[in-house]
Amino acid sequence: MALYAIGDLHLPLAAGKPMDIFSGWDGYVEKLEAHWRRLVKPEDTVVVAGDVSWAMGLEQSLKDFQFIESLPGRKVILKGNHDYWWSTKSKMEQFFARHGLDSLQILHNNSIAVGQAAVCGSRGWLFEQGEAHDQKIVAREAARLDASLSSAGKGLEKVAFLHYPPVFGEEITPEIIDVLRKHQVRRCYYGHIHGSGCRYALNGTYLGIEFRLISADFLGFCPMEIPEKPNKS
């Protein structure tokens, strides 16, 4: 019962918006499927850290989610900045149930136990623009992350998954970092960063937390296995 993670699938099957116009994305859906089927077993869990589908609504997203459903394992999905199909948790769960998407679960203000880990997370936010409304979004995302981590079962390691990186180059989102430290999170995985930006991504330790980038192109469209235990620091 292994745990894997990957972000930023940007699936184009529903909206007809392929990513292969960008360098390194040629044949990415086929690569993703091949790697996923090679690695992931039916009893495993894969966290998909946002930017799942280019669809603009739930009904339009069906082909992308049927593709994900066809892949092995349980899938835990959180929101990214391009997930315009995202709705309320109850509406998404009803949509999944109505279409037989039984292996899909939504991570939103909750946590999901996988072995000895509690999968927790939220979209997060990167203070890229410095606009006044950003602070409200940061506060809301920090609260959602706090709710997710607070819901984790006793005795489980709280492993955090975010779409936006809390640390990127010189940019830091202290509200998110504070929540991670409050809950003594030792591992945090994030997506959102692509292409040349990956050189500035943190793949290491900051304030005692191990951070890893899991965007699909950075991983070569191959889900990353999450170790059962954090690295010794």
Convert the pLDDT of each residue in 36-63 to its tens digit: 999 999 999 999 999 999 999 999 999 9
The pLDDT confidence band at residue 136, using thresholds 50, 70 and 90, is confident
Pairing mode of beta strands 187-190, 157-162: parallel
Going by C-beta distance under 8 Å and a sequence separation of 6 or more, which residues neighbour residue 173? 124, 125, 126, 127, 138, 164, 166, 167
CB atoms within 10 A of CB 8: 25
Enumerate the β-bridge partners of residue 225: 4
3-class secondary structure, 168: strand
Enumerate the β-bridge partners of residue 160: 120, 188
The pLDDT confidence band at residue 155, using thresholds 50, 70 and 90, is very high
Q: What share of the chain in percent tops pLDDT 90?
A: 83
pLDDT at 35 > cutoff 70: yes
pLDDT at 233 > cutoff 90: no
Please provide the average confidence, as pLDDT, over all residues in the chain: 93
Residue 22's pLDDT is 73
* Strand ranges across the sheet with 187-190: 112-114, 117-122, 157-162, 187-190, 209-213, 204-206
Contact 142, 208 (CB under 8 A): no
Degrees (nearest 5) of the Cα angle 176, 179, 183? 145
H or E, element range at 137? helix 132-150
> Where are the chain's structural domains?
3-226
Residue 229's pLDDT is 82
pLDDT at 101 > cutoff 80: yes
Class of domain 3-226 as given by CATH = alpha beta
pTM: 0.94
